[in-house]
Structure 1
Amino acid sequence: MRRAWALGGDDAASSDDSSSTRSAAACLGVPVERMPICSPYISHARRPRAHTRFHGTRPRGFAPTYAPASPPSHRVSPPADLPARHTERMNEQSEHTGIAEDPADETRTLHVDVPRGTVVLAATPIGNTADASARLVALLERADIVAAEDTRRLYALANRLSVHVGGRVVANHDHNERGKADALLDHVANGETVLVVSDAGMPTINDPGLAIVRRAIERGLPVTCAPGPSAVLDALALSGLPTDRFCYEGFLPRKHSERMQALRALKGERRTIVFYETLHRIAESMADLEEVFGPDRRMALCRELTKDYEQIRRGTIHEINESVANDPPRGEMVLVIAGASEDEADPAQSLSVEELAELAMQYAQAHGMRIKDAIAEVIGKHPNADGTLANRKQVYNAVLALRD
């Protein structure tokens, strides 16, 4: 909805409701025959161009943007010869009734403070550009320096938001953030605003940003956040699993042995567990999850969150594992696993090498197995508290000692 504007003489008046516009004009005593509808902002055709400042090569498809025009004041200036009572009446109506601003336009006129001499971590959309906050837009326009994980993606986001990035843009990624932290903080110490953004989501959460935060704390410089989209919280909320207590474990390890160790250490975790995983390793990770946590524990696989093809698969680990095998998911994924039951959560006591040797001998005799195979089975079923496994050679030597 647009605001009504009535101006004297040949100037335009605008409204989505012609009757309210004519009433307002009548209060001013101006003719209403020539009153074209126009936006409270400068029309797009007349809006001045603002060429975006680029550093380096302009990304392909990056079009120039337009600087948003400032909306006019609510208060109306009537002709000089209009009686004072009409002036008061018109301004009162502007503030309280017919010309009050539509709440839907609040985000366009919202005043956002940009802190000076501060590091600001700002969350960026994780898939839907419409999730960008008013604070992010203001910071992109007004920060002195923007430290971006990937400058090309930053410019692409700015293009989609029709935002002019006003400050200097620098690359700040995993390979250089430690070396750049102090240089960026020197600008903060001089009263400038340094905005830190990642490709998607909140910086420092599996993204660059931690180095500059730590150095800022050490140097006594202020750090704040402009919160926003979070894949972890979105997945938790959509999983249907308990959210009062949870732990976030990031990406599962790439190597099978390291992944199994990490999962064994979490087998007794009572809290809901959140992982990130990629489409290239999801099948292997699901097989390992079923082996360690068992087939019946509840979980959710959330993919392409906030995007057009968002999908949430809920069920037991076995059901999700079969689903992944039959219909491999694509895109970015978040795995949410239910916490352990009371029986599963009982802390397993780490067995000594001698105790493992005794169990292996009993297991081999009961199942007619070779002692080496029995040792492997027993060790796998009795991991240490940190998820590691006992040394097979030590257990084998203990078996030989017991036989003697």
Structure 2
Amino acid sequence: MAGTLYLVPTPIGNLGDISPRAKKTLAEADFIAAEDTRVSLKLLNHLELKKPLVSYYEHNKNESGPRIVERLLAGESCALVTDAGSPAISDPGEDLVALCAKAGVCVCAIPGPCAAVTALSVSGLPTGRFCFEGFLSTNKKSRREHLDSLKSERRTMIFYEAPHKLQNTLKDLTDAFGPERRISLCRELTKLHEQIFRMTLGEALAYYTENDPRGEYVLILEGAAEASVEALTLEDAVSLALERIASGASKKDAVREVSRETGFPKNALYDAVLRMQNAD
């Protein structure tokens, strides 16, 4: 009978946040797959546990993942941990979970620390609907396309960022969303020097131009304001779509974006755009 892969969250800063269930799972697992075995060994020493550790991270997942699945299929149980937070969230653990799902191996998630949810809850921004965007690409083109796709996003957005990249990220966010968009910058969450900065993008950019960022950041960005569409007609929506097509957008993308922004049904809008183009 196959074993189970347990996804075990680890503290994001405060060792007191490890749960009794997480500790019990680590203690009972046959082995632990760790993002960095040195970091995980410190946690195990704190918990007074001794367990076999195997390395599983971004640059060895293609080799290590199948070996872990083999052991699981042979009946062993494995606890997957990251350096901090919940495994498989913006983390190569998602690939191991996919391998297990394909192989029919049971996967069990243990609830626990998550930097994204912790930051969102203290951000002071709307929490009813949100989207997790993780780390932005370091590739300029991919980064710009990612942010462009979010310009009309109404949900609160969550990003992760390292301190040495924060200033460039704030500049790109300001360029994409404007200096008046609200943002909460959460650093060193659950640690001694935890800080939450609630300000606009323009204010954040100015602050971090004068002050060096320190620690890991979770950025909580306000979503776009709901557009007032009461006065818009279908003809207005068609005109908006045609303007975007003229600017280089595909017909499909232009119709999808305008439909989302105005509330007009996508199919009806597409047909109206097509009729207008054929009339010309």
Aligned to 1:181: 65
Q: Write the distance in 2 (CA, Å) between the matches of 1:253 and 1:190.
A: 38
- Whether the aligned pair in 2 keeps the contact of 1:267 and 1:344 (CA below 8 Å) is no
Matched, 1:216 2:100: yes
Aligned to 1:164: 49
Q: Write the distance in 2 (CA, Å) between the matches of 1:253 and 1:127.
A: 25
- Whether the aligned pair in 2 keeps the contact of 1:122 and 1:225 (CA below 8 Å) is yes
1:350 positional shift: 6.3
Aligned to 1:150: 36
Aligned to 2:113: 229
1:252 positional shift: 1.3
Aligned to 1:192: 76
Q: Which residue, out of 148, 153, 163, partners 1:269?
A: 153
Aligned to 1:323: 207
Matched, 1:349 2:257: no
Q: Summarize the Cα distance change of 1:337–1:173 in structure 2 as closer, same or farther, 3 Å threshold.
A: same
1:344 positional shift: 9.0
Root mean square deviation of aligned Cα: 2.4
Q: Write the distance in 1 (CA, Å) between the matches of 2:163 and 2:82.
A: 21
| 1:218-367 alignment runs, 5 A limit | 218-343=102-227, 349=241, 351=243, 355-356=246-247
| Amino acid in the other structure paired with 1:265 | S
4+ aligned runs moved over 4 Å, structure 1: 344-348, 384-387
Q: Write the distance in 1 (CA, Å) between the matches of 2:228 and 2:115.
A: 28
| 1:100-119 alignment runs, 5 A limit | 117-119=3-5
Q: Secondary structure at the match of 1:184?
A: helix
| Percent pairwise identity | 41
Matched, 1:141 2:35: no
Aligned to 2:8: 122
Structure with larger Rg: 1
1:152 positional shift: 0.6
1:177 positional shift: 1.8
- Whether the aligned pair in 2 keeps the contact of 1:198 and 1:208 (CA below 8 Å) is no
Gaps of 5+ in 1: 1-115, 357-378, 388-404
| Amino acid in the other structure paired with 2:193 | Y
Number of paired residues? 243
Gaps of 5+ in 2: 258-280
| 1:44-55 alignment runs, 5 A limit | none
1:339 positional shift: 0.7
Q: Summarize the Cα distance change of 1:291–1:123 in structure 2 as closer, same or farther, 3 Å threshold.
A: same
For residues 239-286 of structure 1, what are the alpha-carbon distances to aligned partners after superposition, in whole Å with 9 as ceiling and x for unaligned?
A: 011111100111112133432222111010010001111111111111
| Amino acid in the other structure paired with 2:62 | R
Q: Summarize the Cα distance change of 1:290–1:118 in structure 2 as closer, same or farther, 3 Å threshold.
A: same
1:212 positional shift: 1.8
- Whether the aligned pair in 2 keeps the contact of 1:301 and 1:336 (CA below 8 Å) is yes
Q: Summarize the Cα distance change of 1:185–1:352 in structure 2 as closer, same or farther, 3 Å threshold.
A: closer
Q: Summarize the Cα distance change of 1:352–1:231 in structure 2 as closer, same or farther, 3 Å threshold.
A: closer
Q: Write the distance in 2 (CA, Å) between the matches of 1:350 and 1:275.
A: 33
Aligned to 2:18: 132
- Whether the aligned pair in 2 keeps the contact of 1:268 and 1:344 (CA below 8 Å) is no
1:164 positional shift: 1.6
More strand by share: 2
Q: Write the distance in 1 (CA, Å) between the matches of 2:244 and 2:191.
A: 51
Q: Write the distance in 2 (CA, Å) between the matches of 1:287 and 1:157.
A: 37
Q: Write the distance in 1 (CA, Å) between the matches of 2:30 and 2:162.
A: 35
| Amino acid in the other structure paired with 1:131 | D
Q: Write the distance in 2 (CA, Å) between the matches of 1:256 and 1:281.
A: 13
Q: Summarize the Cα distance change of 1:267–1:171 in structure 2 as closer, same or farther, 3 Å threshold.
A: same
| Amino acid in the other structure paired with 1:149 | E
Q: Summarize the Cα distance change of 1:124–1:135 in structure 2 as closer, same or farther, 3 Å threshold.
A: same
- Whether the aligned pair in 1 keeps the contact of 2:55 and 2:64 (CA below 8 Å) is no
Q: Summarize the Cα distance change of 1:344–1:264 in structure 2 as closer, same or farther, 3 Å threshold.
A: farther
| Amino acid in the other structure paired with 2:78 | V
TM-score (norm 2): 0.80
